[in-house]
């Protein structure tokens, strides 16, 4: 099975519902938030969920399209802002923003600080490497190459997968090189500064397509993650957003976004 089929299978398992059997939700079936303004924060560093299009300079992606549709159906205005990943969960917890979106894995420890929406996407992590890599082909053989390095953002699911599923469980392991953004880890991989980046299926094929033959994906998926939007604890937005997510799954809107961003869209160089 090719990696593209792996990627699409992971997404389809979570979201795909046949158009022929979908029942569109009427606007009147969903809560009306009365045109209020909701501040949504993201990192713009995780294609194709959200990123700055190199051709247009505009912030675009699957999550932008989904959030804009959610706002339309719930009748609220979106104000987008940006913050780094390492500050996002705490900023939402502190109430600086009303919603956070950046492919955030639903995890029990994070639920202590923020509330999550229902999952809107399921993804699996893959090993992104340079296309000429021959020293290893899976997690076990990577661990055996003692000078091979992993690039990761601290506090992310790829970081913890690298620590606990590939290496020795030591979060200070010097074989993990830390970077501020996911994009920086991929740049380091391409430049030869690290040898492996873990990325879930929603981003893997985008980076391979954009690399002009410099990158590939190897090995089997290392885990399954559910993505959700985050909110300050006790937010009154959780229920309405969950209702909208359910409607967008049932009426085929998420299927259409999957086709747009994972099949039709080709990342710029």
Name the residue ranges covered by the structural domains of the chain.
Answer: 23-120+228-251, 123-224
Beta carbons of 223 and 125 less than 8 angstroms apart: yes
Beta carbons of 250 and 23 less than 8 angstroms apart: yes
Written as six digits, the tokens of 113 are 């600080």
More confident of the two residues 262 and 90: 90
On the question of a common fold for 23-120+228-251 and 123-224, the answer reads yes
In order of 42, 51, 121, 209, 211, the CA distances from 201 in angstroms are 19, 16, 11, 13, 16
Task: Of 105, 136, 111, 121, give the one whose Cα is nearest residue 218.
Answer: 136
Q: What is the band of 9 on the pLDDT scale with cuts at 50, 70, 90?
A: very low
The helix/strand/coil state of 114 is strand
Residue 23 has pLDDT above 50, yes or no: no
Burial of 181 (0-12, 13-18, 19+ CB in 10 A): middle
Tell me what pLDDT residue 174 has.
97
The helix/strand/coil state of 30 is coil
Phi and psi at 167, nearest 5°, equal: -100, -145
For residues 140-144, give the mean pLDDT: 96
For residues 124-142, give the mean pLDDT: 95
Beta carbons of 40 and 67 less than 8 angstroms apart: yes
The fold adopted by the segment(s) 23-120+228-251 is D-Maltodextrin-Binding Protein; domain 2 (3.40.190)
Tell me what pLDDT residue 17 has.
36
Q: Which of 43-47, 53-57, 183-187 has the lowest mean pLDDT?
A: 43-47
Tell me what pLDDT residue 12 has.
38
Tell me what pLDDT residue 164 has.
92
For residues 39-48, give the mean pLDDT: 91
Q: How many CB atoms lie within 10 A of CB 130?
A: 17
Residue 131 has pLDDT above 80, yes or no: yes
pLDDT in tens, 190-203: 999 999 999 876 67
Beta carbons of 157 and 201 less than 8 angstroms apart: no
pLDDT in tens, 153-184: 998 888 989 999 999 999 999 999 999 888 89
Residue 265 has pLDDT above 50, yes or no: yes
For residues 95-116, give the mean pLDDT: 96
User: Alpha-carbon distance 35 to 101, whole Å?
Assistant: 21
CATH of domain 123-224: 3.40.190.10
Angle separating helix axes 62-74 and 238-250, nearest 10 degrees:
110
Concatenated DSSP letters of 52-67: E-TTT--EESHHHHHH
User: Alpha-carbon distance 184 to 187, whole Å?
Assistant: 5
Beta carbons of 55 and 162 less than 8 angstroms apart: no
Tell me what pLDDT residue 14 has.
40
Residue 1 has pLDDT above 50, yes or no: no
Written as six digits, the tokens of 143 are 């661990």
Tell me what pLDDT residue 182 has.
85
């Amino acid at each position: 099975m090719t990696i593209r089929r792996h990627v699409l299978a992971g997404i389809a398992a979570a979201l795909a519902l046949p158009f022929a059997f979908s029942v569109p939700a009427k606007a009147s079936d969903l809560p009306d938030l009365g045109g209020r303004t909701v501040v949504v924060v993201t990192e713009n560093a995780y294609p194709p969920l959200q990123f700055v299009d190199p051709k247009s300079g505009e912030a675009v992606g699957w999550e932008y399209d989904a959030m804009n549709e959610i706002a339309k159906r719930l009748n609220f205005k979106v104000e987008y802002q940006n913050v780094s990943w390492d500050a996002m969960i705490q900023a939402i917890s502190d109430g600086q923003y009303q919603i956070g979106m950046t492919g955030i894995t639903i995890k029990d420890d994070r639920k202590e600080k923020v509330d999550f929406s229902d999952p809107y996407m399921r993804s699996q992590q893959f090993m992104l490497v340079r296309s000429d890599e021959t020293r290893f082909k899976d997690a076990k053989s990577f661990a055996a190459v003692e000078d091979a390095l992993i690039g990761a953002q601290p506090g992310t699911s790829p970081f913890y997968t690298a620590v606990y599923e590939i290496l020795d469980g030591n979060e200070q392991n010097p074989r993990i090189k830390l970077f501020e953004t996911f994009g920086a880890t991929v740049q380091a991989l391409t430049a030869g500064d690290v040898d492996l980046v873990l990325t879930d299926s929603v981003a893997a094929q985008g980076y391979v397509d954009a690399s002009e033959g410099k990158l590939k994906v190897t090995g089997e998926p290392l885990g399954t993650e559910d993505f959700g939007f985050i909110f300050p604890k006790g937010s009154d937005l959780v229920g309405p957003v969950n209702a909208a997510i359910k409607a967008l799954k049932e009426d085929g809107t998420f299927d259409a976004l999957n086709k747009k961003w994972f099949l039709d869209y080709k990342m710029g160089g």
